[in-house]
Amino acid sequence: MTGQQLKNSILQMAVQGKLVPQNPNDEPASVLLERIRKEKEQLIKEGKIKREKNLSYIFRGADNLPYEKVGKNEPVCIADEVPFEIPESWEWVRLGEVFQHNTGKTLNASNRSGELLTYITTSNLYWNRFELDSLREMYFSESEIEKCTATKGDLLVCEGGDIGRAAIWEYDTNIRIQNHIHRLRSYSEICTEYYYYVFFLYKHAGWIGGKGISIQGLSANALHALLFPLPPLTEQYRIADKIKEFEPFLDKYAQAEKRLNNLNNQFPDLLKKSILQEAVQGKLVPQDPADEPASVLLKRIRSEKEQLIKAGKIKRDKHESVIFRRDNSHYEKRGSEEVCIDEELPFDIPENWSWCRLSELCTKIGAGSTPTGGKAVYVSEGIKFIRSQNVYNDGLRLNDIAYITVETNSKKLGSIVQAKDILLNITGGSIGRCAIVPDDFDIANVNQHVMIIRLVDPAIRQWTHAILISEYIQNLIMDVQVGVSREGLSATKLMNFLIPLPPICEQNRVLDLCANISNRLSSL
């Protein structure tokens, strides 16, 4: 049961007379209703309110069923209209019998007669509270002030927007209301808090603006016609007090429900992150001594990279280093210098794994750029122009792709995307989001918010992608991002990231298991 369902259940019990016991010594609601009618009649005689043309009265018939007499018409049984049974000492009433009703003033900028006063709209009225930080002003004449002013104890109800939303004006100072707010002022003493709770139930049970009573709007006529249960006055106060006793517990229940829902919603992602973190540390699957060690894979990558350098296809990185093990410690050779980097390593990895810098695995790490002219150079078709909003961890989303001309693309040769590249968002709210470019991709270009990562050996691209979206690298990205007005990740920082590299066979076993777990979690 949700927090809202629990509150509805308690309020349902309240309006059915099941929340507090009836007291036979209470003055019955029929006597209260007769007193209300007399005071209303007195106001009509004094000319303070007008008599309604089709005034209705609800009463119990000899068969104990509810009947309604409208004007001079014959009484009609309304047993099919009442939504539930109520105790013998209660009565059914139309809201208009209990409350004097007014709406506020319609805003009219051309009407500048009267006094300039503050007023509230539905945007100031919330359930059981008001937000009064930014009140507007308009002119009110004397007659409008009398008609459109709420005083302490009035029940205010939204006609538009979140129709039926209500709150009691508890302030000592008066306030004016706009026309989309109903002001309800009781003809005789009642417990207004009880009626606030009735509105809350009717709204959240769908009886206002939904099913049941089916009030789709809350015009004055619709409001007057609402059927409300009227308990004895003293029981109204007991009900309101009992609900207020429950409210702190209901709030705690709702907060616990929210935390549980958040946990349930986040659990699959949190579990995926946890599994991925286990994977990048070599803890997800057992190591196989028959696997070719990662050090051999790294030597092969270095050899292939050296061939590309000799062929003039890529340039040698002057700062590139090599990480190796010696005496159970890790060292990094930077030129002629060898430095122990054990304290720099974030976690232990298995014996047949190797640490390396990301730059060691790549032939290219570099960001794109936006063409001169910005969005003005985009065309309806041409070369795809990938932006950060197209890059997601589960792949590229090209439904809102921009395009540039072949000529513009030829001026941005350094940021042309190829099949099997990895793209990483390096700025903004999506920083760290990462996608693999599909094998069958043709061509595209990228803007300055996206980094191209091109591997020497595309066979390790799935593992590299998994590392880049892991909690380990994502935390690094947040730690090293730069920029005063906008966060960003530089190519230099990215190149220096330490990457744990397993044997290629173990990479495949880990990735297959992660995919299987992810599919199962998605089906939950």
Would you write out the chain's pLDDT as a tens digit for each of its 524 residues?
888 889 999 999 999 999 999 999 999 999 999 999 999 989 889 988 888 877 788 888 888 889 998 888 889 999 998 889 999 999 999 999 999 988 999 887 777 888 999 999 999 999 999 999 989 999 999 989 989 999 999 999 998 778 899 999 999 999 999 989 999 999 999 999 999 999 999 998 888 864 334 445 588 888 888 999 999 999 999 999 999 999 999 889 888 888 888 777 777 777 888 888 999 999 999 999 999 999 999 999 999 999 999 999 999 888 888 999 998 899 999 888 899 999 999 999 999 999 999 999 999 999 998 888 888 889 999 999 999 999 999 999 999 999 999 999 999 999 999 999 999 999 988 999 999 999 999 999 999 999 999 999 999 999 999 999 999 999 999 887 655 445 689 999 999 999 999 999 999 999 999 888 888 777 66
Give a yes or no: residue 388 inside a domain. Answer: yes
**Claim to verify: residue 145 and residue 233 sit in the same structural domain:** yes
**Claim to verify: residue 316 and residue 245 sit in the same structural domain:** no
User: Tokens 């979206």, residue?
Assistant: 469
**Claim to verify: residue 247 and residue 333 sit in the same structural domain:** no
**Claim to verify: residue 230 and residue 338 sit in the same structural domain:** no
**Claim to verify: residue 344 and residue 445 sit in the same structural domain:** yes
Give a yes or no: residue 382 inside a domain. Answer: yes
Q: Into how many domains does the chain fold?
A: 2
Q: Domain boundary at 235, 251, 267, which?
A: 251
Asked if 352 and 443 count as a contact pair (C-beta separation under 8 A), the reply is: no
Give a yes or no: residue 261 inside a domain. Answer: no
- C-alpha distances (whole Å) from 212 to each of 128, 208, 209, 497 are 24, 8, 9, 62
Give a yes or no: residue 282 inside a domain. Answer: no
Instruction: Note down the domain range covering 333.
Output: 294-522
Counting every residue written for the chain, the total comes to: 524
Task: Look up the pTM and report it.
Answer: 0.60
Give a yes or no: residue 199 inside a domain. Answer: yes
**Claim to verify: residue 336 and residue 212 sit in the same structural domain:** no
**Claim to verify: residue 196 and residue 145 sit in the same structural domain:** yes
Query: Helix, strand, or coil here: 441?
Result: coil
**Claim to verify: residue 325 and residue 226 sit in the same structural domain:** no
Residue 125, burial from CB neighbour count under 10 angstroms (0-12, 13-18, 19+): buried
**CA torsion 390→391→395→399, rounded to 10°?**
0
- C-alpha distances (whole Å) from 278 to each of 57, 113, 349, 380 are 73, 73, 11, 45
